[in-house]
Structure 1
Amino acid sequence: MRDPYTVLGVARGASDAEIKKAYRKIAKDNHPDRNKDNPAKLEKFKEASAANALLSDAEQRGRFDRGEIDAEGNPKAPAGFGGGQGFPGGFGGGGFAGGARPGASTSSFDFTTDPSDLFAELFGRGAGRGGGFDEELRRRMAPKGADVAYRLSVPFEDAAVLKPQRVSLRNGKTIDLKLPPGFSAEKPLRMAGQGEAGAGGAGDALITLDIAPHRFFKRDGDDVRLDLPVTLNEAVDGAKVRVPTPDGPVTLTVAAGSSSGRVLRLRGRGFTRADGTRGDLLVALEVDLPHEDAELRAFTARWHDGRSVRAALGVD
């Protein structure tokens, strides 16, 4: 993978906020859902996700900046291997090209075949295949498997209360995914080691979470809005009514003389924020009148409301 700073287009001294902003822009422009038939965009999305994962981890970023690991998070080879100094016979400076440098020892190593042969030559056949230093180095230098992108639609109520979701992965595993507080579709969840298999270990699974629409709840930031029908009797006389919430039904008191549009607040019944607190459920009352009710029409024929209820709008 390329240098993660180059991938995200930020300077090495970039702040966490700058890195996050750069990643979100790339992720939004190259998301798989918007570019299903564009492999280049998908590759750019995966590359940016991997770069963001490394740079957003303070410890990993520090190790990368110090040159201890490469852009994929793998430890770098010890100094002197493939470009270092101190080994004769073409082992350093010019890399493993299979020939000796002028004036150097005539020993040569062909790194285009199997690196275990090289290390067996240097450290003895006892460090051959299947054990010891060369096997560990080969494992660390081998590329990881590809990341796999998933998109999961989470039911509205489950998203609000952070109910775990069962996910079937391409590798055949089924997991119960815990939803993190304050999650959003802009930042996919990374599950280490759940991607495609590779010589250097499995890649990761990147899961984008979408909240499914609801037939009567509507999200408003961290709050949830609900239009609640009430009868004329309940609005005029007041009543205790049952109200649905993402956590299940509760009883709500409607005050006498409530008009349509009045909003009642049920605290802590909204979406879970990143800090663990929750938004509210905002219940807007809607007085539902019966259609062609003879008794109601007979009552209004005897009673007249003489208020000028539209005066504030500049009309009588």
Structure 2
Amino acid sequence: MVVDPYGVLGLTRSATPDDIKKAYRKLVRTSHPDLHPEDAGAEARFKAIAAAHDLLKDPDTRARFDAGEIDGTAAERPQRQYYRDFAQAGDNPYQQQRGFENHVDPADIFAEILRRRTRQGGEDFSHPGFSAPGPDLRYALEVPFLDAARGGEMRITLPDGASIAVKIPEGAHNGQTLRLRGKGGPGFGDGPTGDALITLSVGQHPVFQRMGDDIHVTLPITIDEAILGAKVTAPTISGPVNLTIPKGASSGRVLRLRGRGVSHQGGKTAGDQLVELKIVTPLAIDESLHDFMIEWRKSHSHDPRIDLMNEAAS
């Protein structure tokens, strides 16, 4: 299926970086699965929105998509070039001083050779100057969530049993394709070796969820921490940090830890971590708490649902 990241975000190709950011933030509020747990399609929409935002917010990947070098999933597009693009004077249209340029499709080369051999009555048509680059080889690599967010190194095994190291860039995203120059198939004649194209599949994490460069965490807090406020420890992708819970905090309130999200360019730019609070009652309600809440209810008439009911009736 063809994916248009502009269409996913409801934008045109003339959208500014600010337009992209605003569209993403607006759509996240309507599609995040944690905010819409009863919406069966929310998770799929959210993943598509996040992937589109990841591609378009980066000027380099956006320019490559606009130029047709990558598709809407950030995968490399095959750049097919045919024998007529390399024709020169002489009876061999492929014979050049420097051989084939990158991305020539070997299938086109061999098809032309066979056509020429047919015209020669089956005679072997082999030119000593014939050369072509080797084919690009494609691999899929599953990357743990934290390795993709923080960067790291993994290894893949090649068909011949050898292995090569793959450097996972900081902030790598699902569907991103890495190119390892000279790690593909061998060239023909004096042609260069092809490249290895590694498409990343980023795993899920039991605690963290990624929204573009931001990280989302649901943090359980106790009743007394919510009412009285507290200093607690919260997890981040780079390790635990101290977090202040304000007095009177409610479930669903989101606190922002700036710069604690996914980093790019060696930490020069980074997203935030969004900490959503969730009040958790004790596993066992003791008698003193039970009696206190009964007395408190008698003297307090606060109804947190009144605005909701009024809006529902209007």
The match for 1:222 is: 213
Q: Tell me the distance in 1 between the aligned counterparts of 2:201 and 2:274.
A: 22
1:1-316 correspondence to structure 2 within 5 Å? 17-20=65-68, 23-24=70-71, 48-51=77-80, 71=81, 79-80=89-90, 82=92, 112-116=124-128, 138=129, 141-180=130-169, 183-199=172-188, 200-273=191-264, 276-294=268-286, 295-304=288-297, 305-314=300-309
Please give the TM-score of this superposition, normalised by the length of structure 2: 0.59
Contact 1:97 1:111 in 2 (8 A): no
Q: CA deviation at 1:81?
A: 5.6
Amino acid in the other structure paired with 2:135: A
Q: Tell me the distance in 2 between the aligned counterparts of 1:293 and 1:241.
A: 22
Q: Tell me the distance in 2 between the aligned counterparts of 1:142 and 1:76.
A: 12
Q: CA deviation at 1:308?
A: 2.5
Q: CA deviation at 1:80?
A: 4.0
Q: Tell me the distance in 2 between the aligned counterparts of 1:273 and 1:226.
A: 20
Amino acid in the other structure paired with 2:124: T
Q: Tell me the distance in 2 between the aligned counterparts of 1:311 and 1:270.
A: 36
Q: Tell me the distance in 2 between the aligned counterparts of 1:259 and 1:198.
A: 63
Q: CA deviation at 1:183?
A: 4.0
Q: Tell me the distance in 1 between the aligned counterparts of 2:82 and 2:176.
A: 19
Q: CA deviation at 1:209?
A: 0.9
Amino acid in the other structure paired with 2:180: M
Relative to structure 2, which stretch is displaced further, 182-191 or 293-302? 182-191
Q: CA deviation at 1:111?
A: 7.8
Contact 2:150 2:170 in 1 (8 A): no
Q: CA 1:280–1:171 in 2, change beyond 3 Å: closer, same or farther?
A: farther
Other structure's SS at 2:237 match:
coil
Q: Tell me the distance in 1 between the aligned counterparts of 2:93 and 2:248.
A: 84
Contact 1:239 1:255 in 2 (8 A): yes
Q: Tell me the distance in 2 between the aligned counterparts of 1:266 and 1:72.
A: 53
What is the CA deviation profile of residues 95-119 of structure 1, one whole-angstrom value per residue up to 9, with x for unaligned ones? 9979xxxxxxxxxxx9835434xxx
What is the CA deviation profile of residues 34-93 of structure 1, one whole-angstrom value per residue up to 9, with x for unaligned ones? xxxxxxxxxxx8xx3345xxxxxxxxxxxxxxxxxxx399x9687546369xxxxxxxxx
Q: CA 1:290–1:234 in 2, change beyond 3 Å: closer, same or farther?
A: same
Stretches of structure 1 lacking an aligned partner (at least 5 in a row): 1-14, 32-44, 52-70, 85-94, 99-109, 117-137
Q: CA deviation at 1:286?
A: 0.7
Q: CA 1:81–1:113 in 2, change beyond 3 Å: closer, same or farther?
A: closer
CA RMSD of aligned residues (A): 3.7
Contact 2:87 2:93 in 1 (8 A): no
Please give the TM-score of this superposition, normalised by the length of structure 1: 0.58
Q: CA 1:232–1:249 in 2, change beyond 3 Å: closer, same or farther?
A: same
Structure with larger Rg: 1
Query: Aligned pairs, how many?
Result: 220
Q: CA deviation at 1:247?
A: 0.7
What is the CA deviation profile of residues 168-218 of structure 1, one whole-angstrom value per residue up to 9, with x for unaligned ones? 333444333223355444442111221222423432211111210111211
Q: CA 1:187–1:156 in 2, change beyond 3 Å: closer, same or farther?
A: closer
